[in-house]
Amino acid sequence: MKVPVPDEILPADRLGHVHFVGIGGAGLSGIARIMLARGIAVSGSDGTDSPTLQALRDLGATVHLGHAADQLGDADTVVVSTAVREDNPEYAEAVRRGLRVLPRSAALAAVMAGRRVVAVAGTHGKTTTTSLLTVALQAAGADPAYAIGGDLSATGVNAADGTGEVFVAEADESDGAFLHYAPYAAVVTNVEADHLDNWGTEEAYVAAFDEFAATVAADGFLVCCVDDPGAAALAERQRAAGRRVIEVSAGAPEALAGVTLWSPGAHYLADALAAHAAGVALGYDPADLARGVAAYTGTKRRMEPKGEAGGVRVYDSYAHHPTEIAGDLQAARALAGEGRVVVAFQPHLVSRTRIFGTAMGEALGAADEVVVLDVYLAREDADPAVTGALVAGAVPLPAAQVAFVPDLADAAAALAARARPGDLVLTLGAGTVTEVAPQVLALLGAADG
C-alpha cells in the first residue's frame, strides 16, 4: 500500500508515540531503532517473530505479533510499511481516529531532520555502498547516524543514531521514497530499469533519478559510478544543470590502491570507490576512509559467507535483478577457484518475474548447477502464468543441470544433492531463500559425518 507523504514532515521528536505497522522489516526496524535511541515511545506489530523484533523489545519497544486495532494504544503517529494492505486493522483504526499516518520515507525524513544527509541510491548496490560509507566515516572519526537496508556484519544492526552531524541513509527508489529526503549530498551507484510495477516505464524510472538528484542541496554534491551507462548519463545531465558531480570508475581505483576488499567483483569495487569519494567530498581524510573500507567485513545477505561443511562453502546474497545475479555470480566464480558454483535462486515479485524472468534465467547460466524456486510473492498476488518455471526454462545450461523446485522446503536437499567437495553453494534472492543456507550446511555436515 502506498501512503501519501504529508506536505509537512515533522522532526521525529514532535511525532509523539510512534506505532509501526510492519516493524520487523528492514526499513521500519531501522527507523524504530533510531527513535528508541532518542527516547521516543515506540510500538509496533508484525506477522511473525524474529531476532529483529526481539532486539527492538530489548531496546524498549512494545511489539505485537499479528495485527489488531487495539494495538495502536495511545499512538499519535502510525508508520506503515509498503507491504501492508489497505484492510490492515491497525491502518484502518489509525484512519478512523484521524491519526498522523506516515509512509516509511516520511518517517526516515523525520529522523534525518537537522543532520547533514548523504542519501545513497541506485538500482543495485545501495545497501553495500551505504554500509561502506558508514564504516569509512566511522574510521575517520565522524560517528555518523545511519539507516541501511541490511545489518552491518560488524555491528549486527541496520541503524544507529551516531553523535556526529552526518546521517548516511539508503535511499530506496522502488516506491519513490528517495524523492522526499532533501539530502546535502547523494550517491548513485547505477540506473537500470526496475520496479516498473510502480513506475510504469523505463523512461519514468530514469526520470525519477533526475528528480532525486535535483533534491540535493545547491552547495552539495552527487557521486556517480560512471561504469554504469545509466549513472554516467545522469552525471552528464546533472553536470549540465550546474550540479557538482564526482565520477568514480572501477577502471581507475587509485584511491583504494593497496586495499583488499571483503569480496571480489567489479561492482563491489565500484561501491567501495563511491563510498570513499563521498567521504572525501564531505571533508574527511582519504587515508582514514580507505582504512575503513579495508576493515569493512560485509553486510548481511550481501555475498555473506554462511559456513562450510563437507568441503563445500555456502554463501547467501540478496540479488534479485538480472544484473545483480550476474554480478554476484562473477564474485562467486572468483571465490570458488577450481570448484563449481551451485546456485539456488528465488525470484522476487510476480511483476518483476514477468518482466525480467527470461533475463534472470540467462544470468543464472553463469553457474554450473542451478535450482530455481517459485516466486516469492511479498506484497503481490500469485499469477499461475508467472512462476519460477519461467526462469528455470530460460537458463542456458543442459537440462540435467537445472531444476525447478517450487517448494522452499525441498530446495536445501536439491542443493546438497548437487554439491560436491570444493564447490561453492550460493543462495540468491530477496525473499525466504536465505533460510535455505543453514539447512544445506546441516545436510552436508550430516552426510560428511
Q: What does pLDDT average to over the chain?
A: 93
Q: Which residues contact 428 (CB under 8 A, 6 or more apart)?
A: 317, 318, 319, 320, 325, 328, 343, 344, 345, 346
pLDDT score for 258: 87
In this structure, of 39-43, 261-265, 277-281, 400-404, the range with the lowest mean pLDDT score is: 261-265
64 known ligand binder? no
Q: Please name which of 368, 351, 372 lies closest in space to residue 429, comparing C-alpha atoms.
A: 372
Higher pLDDT, 263 or 57: 57
The cell numbers describing 23, all together, are: 516493524
Active site residues: 126-127, 170
122 known ligand binder? yes
Confidence check: pLDDT of 449 > 70: no
The cell numbers describing 223, all together, are: 557521486
pLDDT score for 101: 97
Cα–Cα distance, 45 to 168 (Å, whole number): 26
127 known ligand binder? yes
Confidence check: pLDDT of 349 > 70: yes
Cα–Cα distance, 445 to 133 (Å, whole number): 37
CB 124 within 8 A of CB 149: no
Please give the domain boundaries of the chain with CATH numbers for all domains. 12-102 (3.40.50.720), 114-295 (3.40.1190.10), 304-448 (3.90.190.20)
From the number of C-beta atoms within 10 Å of its C-beta (0-12, 13-18, 19+), residue 240 rates as: exposed
8-state DSSP, 266: H
393 known ligand binder? no
Tens-digit pLDDT profile for residues 370-421: 999 999 987 788 999 999 999 999 999 999 999 999 999 899 999 999 999 9
pLDDT score for 369: 97
In this structure, of 30-44, 188-202, 219-233, the range with the lowest mean pLDDT score is: 188-202
Average pLDDT for residues 300-306, to the nearest whole number? 86
Burial 416-427 (b: 16+ CB within 10 A, else e): bebbeeebbbbb
Q: Please name which of 418, 367, 368, 359 lies closest in space to residue 390, comparing C-alpha atoms.
A: 359
The cell numbers describing 258, all together, are: 593497496
Percent of the chain clearing pLDDT 70 (strictly above): 100
Tens-digit pLDDT profile for residues 64-90: 999 999 999 999 999 999 888 899 999
Cα–Cα distance, 446 to 417 (Å, whole number): 12
CA atoms within 13 A on the CB side of 98: 0
Cα–Cα distance, 304 to 154 (Å, whole number): 12
Cα–Cα distance, 157 to 55 (Å, whole number): 9
Percent of the chain clearing pLDDT 90 (strictly above): 79
Secondary structure (DSSP) of 10-71: --GGGS-SEEEETTTSHHHHHHHHHHHHTT--EEEEESS--HHHHHHHHTT-EEEES--GGG
Residue ranges of the alpha helices (H) in 246-403?
266-281, 286-295, 322-336, 350-364, 388-392
Element (DSSP H or E) covering residue 437:
helix 436-448
Cα–Cα distance, 73 to 92 (Å, whole number): 14
CB 146 within 8 A of CB 278: no
Q: Quote the strand ranges of 295-421, DSSP E.
A: 304-309, 312-317, 341-345, 369-372, 402-404
Average pLDDT for residues 307-327, to the nearest whole number? 93
pLDDT score for 198: 76
Q: Per DSSP, what are the bridge partners of residue 348? A: 376
Record the pTM.
Answer: 0.85
Higher pLDDT, 415 or 175: 415
Average pLDDT for residues 98-104, to the nearest whole number? 96
